Structure 1
Amino acid sequence: MAEPPATRSHPGAGLVSAGQEALWLAHQLAPDSSAFNVVLAVRLRDPVDTDVLQDALTAVAARHELLRSRFAATDEGPVRTTVPPASVRLDVREVPGVAEAELFRLATGAGEEPFRPASQGAFRAVLLRRGPADAVLVTATHHIVSDATSQWLLVRDLFAEYGARTGQDAPPPAEPADWDRQVRAERDFVAGARGARAAAHWRGICDGLPAAELPTDRPRPPHRLLDGATHELVWDPQTGQRLRSAAAERGLTPFAWLLGTFQAALHRSGCGDDFLIGCPATTRFTPETRQAVGYYVNALPMAARFTPHTPLLATVEAAQDQLRRGLAHARYPVELLGGSAARGPLFRISCTLVAADRLPVPGLYEGPVRLGGLRAELCDVPQQEGQLDLTVEVLQDSRGFKAVLRYDTALFDAATLDRFAATWQRLLDVSLDAPHTPVADVALAAQDDLDFLLALGTEAA
C-alpha cells in the first residue's frame, strides 16, 4: 500500500492532500489541458459594478485560501503557498454587441484557458461584458482546489458579498473549514486503525479486477492527450417517474438503479464480465467542510461481475450495496491504493451523481434567479472533458434525470458514444419493465427495429 504524502518541511507551506498530489502530477504531464478545469458561468442581466465585484472577489479569496494558493514544484512534490487575497483580480473583457453564439464561445474559452498553478494560481474570474446590462461571469478553477460543489459555493459566496455591498442585506455565509485541518484529518485517518480497515476493504474490492475499458475506435496513444467532448442523454419525465417509483418500491435509490444499468451497458458494450469503475463521492463530513471551497472528493472503486444469467435487478442491487458499504470507507484516498505498470490505472471510467436540486445556489440550475440583487441564469458551458476514457455525471433535479457523458476524443468517435447511450437507454427501459431479465438476454435493438433489419435480410439481392 502506498504511504500518505509526508508533510512538507518548507516554512510557511500549506498542506496538500493525496488527491491534490495526483491532480498536480496530472497537470505536470499535460499543463495546457483544460480537462481538469471546473467551470461555472452565470449570465447577468443587470448592470454590474465591477469595483464592487472586485471587492466581493477579494473577500471570497480571503475566506477560501485555496483560491489564492500556488502549487510550486520541488524535489519532494508540490508545495502549497498562499498570496494576499487582493492578488486575486477580476478580469473584465469588453465584448460589445457580440452575437449569442460568439458570447457562448467566449465563455467556453474563458473556462478552458490553462492554469499555471505555480505562478498564477488555480482560480480566475472573467467578466465578459456584452452591454451595460448584459454580461457573463465565468468562474474557473483547477480541480486541485475545487470540485463541483465548491464551484457553486464560490458563486454563492461571491454574490452574497456583492449583495451585502449593494444594499441587498445578504446574510454572511457560514465560516468554512481550514484546509490544513482537512489534510491532517485525512493523514490521521490513513495512519490509524480505521484507515487500515478501509484500505483492506478497498483492496478486497479491487484485487484481481481490471479497469473497465470500452473497445476504442483508435489505438490508445502512449500518453493521454486529455482532449474530450460531451454527449448528453436526457431521460423523459415519464421514465424519470418510473425510475423513482421502481427504486422506492424496492428500497433502492434512483442513482443506484442508473449505476447498475450503466455497468450493465459497459458489460454489453465490450468491457468484459468483471471490471472496476470509479464512483466519485464527497468527503464533506462536517458542517465546516460543507461551506468550504476545496477538493473534497474521493473516488469509490466499484466492482461489476456478470455471468450469462445475471438479472438486471441483481446488478442494481449490487450497485446499491457497494455504494452503501463504500461510503463507510469514503475517507480513504483511493490514490493511495495506486495502479501499477502491469495492471494500468485503477479505473478508466467513472460515474457520479450531482443532485442539482441540492446545490448551494437554489434554482440556478433550473432557471433564472436573483443573485446579489442581479438577475442571473446559468450559462451551461462544456467542461472537464477528457479526464478519463469516459466520465459520467448523472444530474438529478425536480424535472428528472440526465446523464452528461464526457469522453476522450483520442479514443472514441461521437457515433460510439451515441451507440453506448442507446445501449444504456435500452437496458434501463427493460430493467423498469422486466427487472428479472438477464442482462445477457436483453435485445439491444427495439423490436420494431429488429423486425426491420430481419426483413432487410430476406430481400433478394
Structure 2
Amino acid sequence: MSTGLISTGQEGLWLAHQLDPDSSAYNVVLAVRLRDPVRADVLQDALTALVLRHELLRSRFPGTDAGPTRVTDPADSVRLDVRDVPGADEEELFRLARRAAEEPFRLADEGAFRAVLLRGAPDDAVLVTVTHHIVSDATSQWLLVRDLFAEYGARTGQGGATRPPAPTGWDQHVCAEREFIASPRGERSAAHWRDLCRGLPAAALPTDRPRPEQPTLNGATAELTLPAITSRRLREAAAERALTPFAWLLGTFQSALHRCGAGDAFLVGCPVTTRFTPATREAVGYYVNSLPVAGRFLPATTFLETFEAAQRQLRTGIAHARHPVELLPGGADRGPLFRIVCTLIAVDRLPIPGLYEDRVRLGGLRAELCDVPQQEGQLDLAVEVLQNSAEFRAVLRYNTDLFDRETVERFRDTWRRLIDVSLDTPAARVADVGLVAVDDLARLIALGAGAP
C-alpha cells in the first residue's frame, strides 16, 4: 500500500461523491456480452495484471482534514465478482447488468473499480466493468476492457500479447498539471478562461420544478439519432464551409438552448481529453477538462455565425485545455460554471474497433456491446454526440428532479428541427425559425378550428 497524488478534476469528483455517496451518477460503465465459455480463474489472473498496469484501478480515496488523498493497494486486492444466474434470458441479463452498473462505490474503503461476471449459461455471460469517474473517462473504459482481454487471450493462447507496464504513473501526470498551472503558459491559459467567462452565466433551461437547495443526481436518458442521409448532409455542409460536424451540431445545440429559454448569452461546457503525451494515451485515468464555450445571440444572429463562433472557440480552447477550469475564481456567489455540457465521442476511434456496432472477438471470445444506461443526472443536461462512419447519435442525460421527460424530448425535437433548417438554409437567422414544422402547424391550426 502506498499513497499518491490526485488531480484538480479528481478533487471535484471526490467532493461530488461526498454530497451523495449513494448515487451512481458518476459510474462509468462498459459491459460486454460473451457468447463463449469464460474461464473465471483466468479472467481473475488477467484482472490482476490489468490493475497492476493501471494503478488508479486499485486506488482508494479516503478523506483527511486536509482533503482527499489517494491510497494504492496491491494488485491482488481487486477481485472478480462472479454471479451465477442460471437460465437468465436476454432481458434478465440486461436488468442484472444495469443493476451491477448502478451499485454505488465506497471510494474510501473499496476503491473505484469493479468487474462483475454474470453467468447465465456456460457459454453466455455478461462482463460488467464499472469505474467511478474519479479514475476513468470514456476512453479509459474501453482501454481497460481491451487490456483485460489482451491479458486473458495471452493466457489462453488466443492471441492478444500482454502489454508492458504503463511508462508513467498518475503522480507524474498530476505533477505535470501542477507545473503547468504555475508556469507562464498556465497563467496565460487562466487569463484566457477568465476573459471568456467574465459576465456569462451557466446555460440553464427553464425547469419543471424548483431547483433543490442541495444538488441532486437523479437522472434518465433520451436520445436523438440523425438518419444516415442527414448525417451525410451534415458532413458535406460542414466540409464545404471548412467547419467540423461537431461545430455545426454544437452551434445548433446552443441555438436550441437559446430558443428554449436559456437566454441570449451563456456558457456551455465541452469536455475534451487531456491525453497530450504518448504516456497518457494508453493509460486509464481521468484525463478530461471541460472547455467553456460562449453562446451569444442577437435578433440577427445566423446559424452560420454560431457555427463559426463555436469552431473558433473550440480550436482556441484546445490550446488552453491543460488548465483546469475548476480553478477559475467564482465560488458560491457565481454559481456553477456549467449546468449543461455537450461533447463528441468518435466511436470508430475507440480502442476496441467494431465493438460499438457489431460482434467482435476479445481474447478469443465472441463479444458484443451490452449498452446499459449510465452517468445520468450529473448535471441539468449532459449530451454525448456519438459519431461513427454512418451517423450521429446524441445521448441526452438529464436530471429528473428538474425536468420531466416530455420537456427534454421537446428540447431534443427543437434541436433536431434546427439541425434540419440549418442544413437547408445555413444563412437563416436563428430567431426566425418556426419551431413547429409546416405540416404540424397546419394540423394544429385545424385542430384549433375544430376541423375533423
Distance 2:35 2:90 in 1: 14
* TM-score after normalising by structure 1: 0.96
**Kept in 2: contact 1:227–1:410 (CA 8 A):** yes
Give the superposition deviation at 1:225. Answer: 1.7
Report what 1:20 is aligned to.
10
Q: What's the secondary structure of 1:67's corresponding residue?
A: helix
Q: What's the secondary structure of 2:202's corresponding residue?
A: coil
Specify which of 60, 67, 74 is matched with residue 50 of structure 2: 60
Q: For residue 199 of structure 1, what is the amino acid of its counterpart? A: A
Specify which of 78, 102, 120 is matched with residue 88 of structure 1: 78
Where do 4+ consecutive residues of structure 1 move more than 4 Å? Answer: none
Does 1:189 find its partner at 2:180? Answer: yes
Distance 1:84 1:408 in 2: 37
Kindly provide the CA deviation profile for residues 192-225 of structure 1, in whole angstroms up to 9, marking residues without a partner as x.
Answer: 0000000000001111000001000011111112
Q: For residue 63 of structure 1, what is the amino acid of its counterpart? A: R
Specify which of 204, 219, 225 is matched with residue 213 of structure 1: 204
Specify which of 342, 345, 352 is matched with residue 336 of structure 2: 345
Q: For 1:74-153, what aligned pairs fall within 5 Å after superposition?
A: 74-153=64-143
Q: What's the secondary structure of 2:139's corresponding residue?
A: helix
Specify which of 225, 232, 243 is matched with residue 234 of structure 1: 225
**Kept in 2: contact 1:56–1:158 (CA 8 A):** yes
Report what 1:321 is aligned to.
312
**Kept in 1: contact 2:89–2:120 (CA 8 A):** no
Q: What's the secondary structure of 1:288's corresponding residue?
A: helix
Q: For residue 151 of structure 2, what is the amino acid of its counterpart? A: E
Report what 2:264 is aligned to.
273
Specify which of 19, 22, 28 is matched with residue 29 of structure 1: 19
**Kept in 2: contact 1:174–1:291 (CA 8 A):** no
Distance 2:188 2:13 in 1: 25
Specify which of 382, 394, 400 is matched with residue 373 of structure 2: 382
| Residue segments in structure 1 that go unaligned for 5+ positions in a row | 1-10
Report what 2:239 is aligned to.
248
Specify which of 381, 385, 395 is matched with residue 386 of structure 2: 395
Distance 2:443 2:371 in 1: 39
Specify which of 208, 214, 232 is matched with residue 223 of structure 1: 214
Q: For residue 106 of structure 1, what is the amino acid of its counterpart? A: L
Does 1:372 find its partner at 2:363? Answer: yes
Distance 1:230 1:459 in 2: 36
Specify which of 436, 446, 452 is matched with residue 455 of structure 1: 446
Distance 1:111 1:150 in 2: 16
Specify which of 148, 165, 172 is matched with residue 155 of structure 2: 165
Q: How many residues align?
A: 451
* TM-score after normalising by structure 2: 0.98
Kindly provide the CA deviation profile for residues 329-379 of structure 1, in whole angstroms up to 9, marking residues without a partner as x.
Answer: 000011111542222100100000010000000100011000000000000
Distance 1:202 1:214 in 2: 23
**Kept in 1: contact 2:34–2:368 (CA 8 A):** yes
Report what 1:437 is aligned to.
428
Distance 1:132 1:431 in 2: 52
**% identity of equivalent residues:** 71
Q: What's the secondary structure of 2:44's corresponding residue?
A: helix
Supply the RMSD in Å over aligned alpha carbons: 1.3
Distance 1:77 1:328 in 2: 30
Distance 1:78 1:152 in 2: 27
Distance 2:405 2:47 in 1: 39
Q: For residue 149 of structure 2, what is the amino acid of its counterpart? A: F
Give the superposition deviation at 1:24. Answer: 0.3
**Kept in 2: contact 1:255–1:353 (CA 8 A):** yes
Distance 1:148 1:204 in 2: 30
**Kept in 1: contact 2:52–2:165 (CA 8 A):** no
Q: For residue 267 of structure 1, what is the amino acid of its counterpart? A: H
**Kept in 2: contact 1:175–1:291 (CA 8 A):** no
**Kept in 1: contact 2:342–2:382 (CA 8 A):** yes
| Residue segments in structure 2 that go unaligned for 5+ positions in a row | none
Give the superposition deviation at 1:287. Answer: 1.1
C-alpha spacing 1:231/1:174, structure 2 compared with 1 (3 Å): farther
Kindly provide the CA deviation profile for residues 122-154 of structure 1, in whole angstroms up to 9, marking residues without a partner as x.
Answer: 000000000000000000000000000000000
**Kept in 1: contact 2:159–2:364 (CA 8 A):** no
